[in-house]
Homo-oligomer: A and B are copies of this chain.
Amino acid sequence: MSFEVIILGSSSALPTSERFPAAHLLIVNERFFLIDCGEGTQIQLRRFRLNPSRISHIFITHLHGDHVFGLFGLLSSLGLMGRQREIHLYGPEGLQVLLQDHLRYFGPLPYAIIFHVPEEGRDYLYEDDKLAVTAIPLAHRTTTFGFLFREKPKPLNIKKEEIEKLDLSIADIVKIKNGADYHLPDGTVIPNSALTLPPFHPRSYAYISDTAFLPSIVDKIRHVDLLYHEATFSEEDLDLARENWHSTARQAAEIARHAGAGKLLIGHFSSRYKSVETLLEEAGEIFPNTVAVSDGDRFELPLERENPSPDDHL
Instruction: Out of B16, B40, B72, name the residue touching A40 (CB < 8 Å).
Output: B40
Copies of this chain present:
2
A17 touches B39 (CB 8 A): no
Give A52 Cβ to nearest chain B Cβ, in Å: 10
Q: Are B46 and A77 in contact (CB under 8 A)?
A: no
Minimum CB–CB distance for A108 against chain B, Å: 13
Which one of A62-70, A119-127, A148-156, A254-262 contacts B?
A62-70
Q: Which parts of A7-27 form the interface with B (CB within 8 Å)?
A: 13-17, 20-21
Q: Which B residues are in CB contact (< 8 Å) with A198?
A: none
- A97 contacts across to B, CB distance below 8 A: 105
In Å, the complex CA distance between A66 and B74 comes to 11
Chain A, 59-90, CB within 8 A of any chain B CB: 63-66, 69-70, 72-73, 76-77, 80-81
> A270 to nearest B CB, angstroms?
11
B-chain residues with CB within 8 Å of residue A105 when the two chains form the complex? 63, 94, 97-98
- Tell me whether A101 is interfacial, beta carbon within 8 Å: yes
Please report the C-alpha to C-alpha distance between residue A98 and residue B72 in the assembled complex, in whole angstroms.
Answer: 13
A42, CB-defined interface residue at 8 Å: yes
Asked if A214 CB lies within 8 Å of chain B CBs, one says no
A106-B65 in contact (CB<8A) = yes
Closest to A52 in B: B14
